[in-house]
Amino acid sequence: MGRLLSLKNLLGCLMVVAMVFGGHAAFGETNDTMLMLATVAISTLVLLARPRGSSLENRIVVLFCAVIFLVGVQLVPIPWINVLATQNAIPELLANELSSARPWQSISLNPGRTLDVFSWLLVFGLFFISLSRLATEDLFGLVPFFLIGVACNVMVGTIQFITYSPQERLISNITTYQAGFFTNANHFATLMAASIPIVLFMLSSRRRYLLMLLYIAVAFTMIFLSGSRAGMMLGVTATVATLLLVLQLGAVSRWTFAVGSLVAVVISYTLISRLLVQGLRDDVRSTIATTTWEGIWDNLPWGVGFGAFQDAYRVYEKMSDIQGVFINHAHNDYLELIFEGGIPAVLVLFLCLVTLAIQTWRVRGFQARLISSLAVWIILLHSIVDYPLRTFSMSIVFLYLIAIVFSVRARSNLHSSEPEQMLQSTLPSRAFINRNAPRSIAS
| Secondary structure of the chain in HEC code, one letter for each residue | CHHHHHHHHHHHHHHHHHHHHCCCCCCCCHHHHHHHHHHHHHHHHHHHHCCCCCCECHHHHHHHHHHHHHHHHHHCCEEHHHHHCCCCCCCHHHHHHHHHHCCEECCCCCHHHHHHHHHHHHHHHHHHHHHHCCCHHHHHCCHHHHHHHHHHHHHHHHHHHHHCCCCCCHHHHHHCCCCCHHHCHHHHHHHHHHHHHHHHHHHHHCCCHHHHHHHHHHHHHHHHHHCCHHHHHHHHHHHHHHHHHHHHCCCCCHHHHHHHHHHHHHHHHHHHHHHHHHCCCHHHHHHHHHHHHHHHHHCCCCCCCCCCHHHHHHHHCCHHHCCCCCCCCCCCHHHHHHHHHHHHHHHHHHHHHHHHHHHHHHCCCCHHHHHHHHHHHHHHHHCCCCCHHHCHHHHHHHHHHHHHHCEHHHHCCCCCCCCCHHHHHHCCCCHHHHHHCCCCCCC
Distance CA 222, CA 199 (A): 15
How many domains does the chain contain in total? 1
Question: Residue 420 — pLDDT band, cuts 50, 70, 90?
Answer: very low
Range of 179-188, 406-415, 428-437 with top mean pLDDT = 179-188
Is there a domain that residue 173 lies in?
A: yes
Is there a domain that residue 194 lies in?
A: yes
Does 73 have pLDDT greater than 50?
yes
Is there a domain that residue 443 lies in?
A: no
Does 396 have pLDDT greater than 90?
yes
Is there a domain that residue 114 lies in?
A: yes
Is there a domain that residue 441 lies in?
A: no
* Residue 329: CB atoms within 10 Å: 17
**Average pLDDT over the chain, rounded to an integer:** 75
Does 173 have pLDDT greater than 50?
no
Is there a domain that residue 7 lies in?
A: yes
The pLDDT value given to residue 167: 46
Can you give the residue range of the structural domain that contains 27?
Answer: 2-436
Read off the pLDDT of residues 363-373 as tens digits, 9 standing for 90 and up: 887 788 889 99
Q: Does residue 316 or residue 247 have the better pLDDT? A: 316
Is there a domain that residue 442 lies in?
A: no
Is there a domain that residue 163 lies in?
A: yes
